[in-house]
């Protein structure tokens, strides 16, 4: 067999030399619609039918390399080394001196694989030609199978791509729909804020968006506003310790949280908690869109409440500045203009009210004083001056009614109020402030410091207050009570207190004894001893008047006695 025959050239001429039986055997080999596994299996079986040979090894070309195919066949290192070094075409040296030949499985100059055939001796020329033609058919079949695989893979990829695109389109549609709903929520809530409807407008918008009743609570659990049916009456309020735990839990989550039959979100613009938005949902029907609306509503409510607080603080500062300037002596026309800008009519008669309370913070006292004045229907400007809470009230408030209102708000605390004289024009505020402080000071030095005092009702005490600075009061007290004061100090007695109480009670024995918590005979003994020590006749009008004035002055100079 020459090289031309070995290479399989001249296929037509070779076919003419083949016997009809050989051609029939070759024609029975069918690679139609076969995949790579079946092609190699058919080719391997056909080798034994076309020649007294067998397949020693078979390989498939993958990415420029020959790999065993099928992979389950045993490794043949000597064959693989030969193919690697000499190529997949030509004689192969096999073990035990057997004949071997590598037939390339090619199509249009592309080698798609290789069959290594072995036999005890070389086959005939016709048999060799049959094996060559078989390898060519197998190579063509492999090329067609590869092309089919590529087409099938491409079609599968197209189908997968289409399926992926459909999924992406559905996801995009869902995302667009969700964004549209989010935008709608934002637009509705923003419109409520922009319309100036305040916190009630936001709560109403949330009710419209969710279909669930919504309430706004302050940080303490008090209801500020409500929208929707079923408002609880009275509104349930948590205990302070439980409320603190709830606020801490909501602040930690920072997202709407279901607690009982409600969904809650915290209203917190920065670090300070201003309130809680509560969506009623006893049946657990709130949708994702409802929770989104509640969450965004919390953000808008935080901005609204923060804005309200800023406005209040600005107005409060402006009012404080105006009060400070009025008490220091402000320009009249400028004062009128500034008060008008704050919505206050300063052209009406006003009174200066000062308040002090050692038992609470000044801010709490200021809040209580403002609320009490409002409850008495007194328009006012409020500020703080010289360590005191100051109100400039439109009209004279009832001192004791104002004190009672403050005490109700603050509880069991000691508040003292002083009211100055009437101011017709702003220039009179500084003097009225001085008088209000004097009234408060006199009240502080009285036997019962807690309460209220109006400067125009002080009477005798105004004289004491005016004379105190020059020392005249102390001289007057010592002149009339010096002997009794010395006696009380030496004996730890209470003759001055007894005398003062007796005179305050108008000389009534029973009433005086009851106030002093002593027996009537004890009172009579003390009064007799007072007359003996001082030499004063308590029946004389002038003497009684001076002693009464002296005991009142003593109490003024010694508060709490």
The tens digit of pLDDT for each residue in 538-554 reads 888 888 888 888 888 78
With 70 as the cut, is the pLDDT of residue 20 above it?
Answer: no
Note the pLDDT tens digit of each residue in 361-413: 888 888 889 999 999 999 999 888 888 999 999 988 998 899 889 888 887 66
The mean pLDDT value for 303-311 works out to: 81
Beta bridge partners of 68: 59
What is the average per-residue pLDDT within 279-290? Answer: 92
For 23-145, CATH number out of 3.30.450.40, 3.50.50.60, 3.30.70.1020, 3.40.605.10 equals: 3.30.450.40
**Range(s) of the chain covered by CATH 3.30.450.40:** 23-145, 197-309
Distance from C-alpha of 399 to C-alpha of 164, rounded to nearest angstrom: 82
Cα–Cα distances (Å) from 357 to 139, 382, 388, 400, 402, in that order, read 108, 16, 9, 15, 14
In terms of DSSP H, where are the helices of 414-540? Answer: 429-444, 460-468, 472-491, 495-504, 509-516, 520-534
Look at residue 312 in the predicted model and tell me its pLDDT. 67
Whether 427 has a pLDDT exceeding 90, the answer reads yes
pLDDT winner (highest mean) among 29-38, 459-468, 488-497: 488-497
Residues of CATH 1.10.10.2840 domain(s) within the chain? 469-557
What's the pLDDT score for residue 438?
85
Q: What's the confidence (pLDDT) of residue 528?
A: 92
Inform me whether the pLDDT recorded for 10 exceeds 50: no
pLDDT of 7 reads 39
Mind listing the pLDDT tens digit for each residue in 182-238? 888 888 888 888 887 888 999 999 999 999 999 999 888 899 999 999 998 898 888
- Phi–psi pair at 397, nearest 5 degrees: -80, 155
Q: What confidence score (pLDDT) does residue 387 get? A: 85
Write down the pLDDT at residue 318.
Answer: 74
Q: Residue 396 gets which letter from DSSP?
A: P
Mean per-residue pLDDT, 56-63: 92
Class for the domain spanning 329-461: alpha beta
Least confident among 67-71, 279-283, 289-293, 358-362: 358-362
**362: burial class by Cβ within 10 Å (0-12, 13-18, 19+)?**
middle
Can you give the pLDDT at residue 8?
Answer: 37
Q: What is the pTM of this model?
A: 0.44
What does the CA dihedral 385, 388, 393, 398 come to, rounded to 10 degrees?
-160
How far, in Å, are 173, 251, 543 from residue 389 at the CA level? 62, 35, 41
Q: What is the mean pLDDT of the chain?
A: 85
Average pLDDT over residues 309-318: 72
**How large is the angle between the packed helices 472-491 and 460-468, nearest 10 degrees?**
90
Residue of 129, 139, 140 lying closest to 51 (CA atoms):
129
- Percent of the chain clearing pLDDT 90 (strictly above): 36
**What are the start-end ranges of the H helices in 51-124?**
77-86
Kindly tell me if the per-residue pLDDT of 139 is higher than 80: yes
pLDDT at res. 468: 54
For residue 354, is pLDDT > 90?
yes
pLDDT tens string 219-229 = 888 999 999 99
Given a cut of 50, whether residue 13 has pLDDT beyond it is no
Q: Give the confidence band of 19 by pLDDT, cuts at 50, 70, 90.
A: low
* Whole-angstrom distance, CA of residue 92 vs CA of residue 102: 7
Assigned CATH class of 197-309: alpha beta
Who wins on pLDDT, 26 or 277? Answer: 277
Domain(s) labelled CATH 3.30.70.270 in the chain stretch across 329-461
- Residue 561: CA atoms inside 13 Å, Cβ hemisphere, count? 20
Q: What is the third-level CATH fold of 469-557?
A: Arc Repressor Mutant, subunit A (1.10.10)
At residue 123, does pLDDT exceed 50? yes
pLDDT grade for 499, boundaries at 50, 70 and 90: very high
* Helix or strand (DSSP H, E) at 535: none
Rounded to 10°, the helix 520-534/495-504 angle is 110
């Amino acid at each position: 067999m020459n090289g031309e025959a070995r290479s399989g050239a001249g296929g037509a001429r070779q076919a003419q030399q083949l016997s009809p039986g050989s051609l029939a055997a070759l024609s029975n080999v069918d690679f139609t619609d076969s995949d790579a596994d079946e092609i190699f299996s058919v080719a391997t079986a056909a080798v034994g039918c076309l020649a007294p040979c067998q397949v020693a090894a078979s390989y498939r070309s993958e990415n420029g390399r020959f790999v065993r195919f099928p992979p389950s066949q045993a490794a043949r290192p000597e064959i693989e080394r030969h193919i690697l070094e000499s190529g997949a075409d030509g004689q192969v040296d096999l073990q035990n001196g057997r004949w071997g030949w590598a037939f390339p499985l090619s199509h249009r100059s592309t080698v798609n694989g290789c069959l290594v055939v072995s036999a005890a001796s070389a086959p005939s020329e016709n048999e060799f030609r049959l094996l060559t033609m078989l390898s060519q058919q197998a190579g063509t079949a492999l090329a067609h199978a590869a092309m089919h695989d590529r087409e099938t893979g491409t079609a599968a990829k197209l189908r997968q791509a289409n399926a992926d695109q459909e999924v992406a389109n559905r996801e995009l549609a869902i995302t667009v729909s969700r964004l549209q709903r989010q935008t709608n929520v934002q637009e509705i809530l923003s419109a409520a804020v922009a319309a100036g409807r305040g916190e009630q407008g936001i709560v109403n918008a949330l009710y419209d968006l969710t279909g669930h009743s919504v309430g706004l609570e302050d940080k303490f659990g008090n209801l500020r506003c409500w929208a929707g049916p079923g408002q609880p009456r009275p509104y349930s309020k948590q205990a302070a310790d439980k409320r603190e735990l709830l606020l801490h839990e909501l602040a930690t989550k920072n997202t709407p949280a279901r607690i009982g039959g409600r969904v809650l979100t915290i209203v917190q613009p920065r670090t300070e908690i201003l309130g809680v938005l509560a969506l009623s949902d006893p049946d657990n029907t709130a949708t994702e869109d409802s929770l989104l609306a509640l969450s965004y509503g919390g953000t808008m409510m935080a901005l609204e409440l923060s804005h309200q607080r800023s406005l209040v603080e600005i107005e409060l500062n402006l009012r404080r500045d105006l009060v400070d300037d009025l008490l220091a002596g402000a320009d009249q026309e400028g004062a009128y203009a500034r008060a008008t800008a704050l919505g206050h009519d300063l052209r009406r008669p006003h009174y200066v009210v000062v308040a002090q309370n050692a038992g609470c913070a000044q801010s709490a006292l200021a809040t209580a004083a403002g609320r009490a004045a409002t409850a008495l229907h007194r328009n006012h400007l409020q500020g703080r001056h010289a360590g005191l809470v100051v109100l400039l009230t439109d009209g004279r408030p009832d001192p004791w009614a104002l004190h009672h209102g403050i005490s109700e708000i603050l509880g069991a605390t000691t508040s003292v109020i002083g009211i100055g004289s009437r101011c017709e024009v702003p220039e009179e505020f500084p003097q009225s402030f001085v008088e209000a402080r004097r009234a408060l000071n006199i009240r502080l030095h009285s036997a019962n410091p807690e309460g209220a005092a109006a400067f125009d009702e002080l009477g005798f005490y105004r004289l004491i207050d005016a004379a105190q600075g020059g020392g005249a009061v102390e001289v007057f007290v010592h002149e009339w009570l010096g002997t009794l004061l010395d006696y009380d100090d030496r004996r730890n007695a209470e003759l001055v207190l007894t005398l003062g109480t007796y005179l305050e009670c108008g000389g009534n024995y029973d009433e005086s004894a009851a106030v002093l918590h002593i027996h009537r005979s004890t009172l009579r003994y003390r009064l007799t001893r007072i007359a003996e020590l001082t030499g004063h006749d308590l029946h004389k009008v002038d003497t009684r008047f001076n002693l009464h004035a002296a005991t009142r002055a003593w109490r003024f100079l010694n508060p709490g006695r």
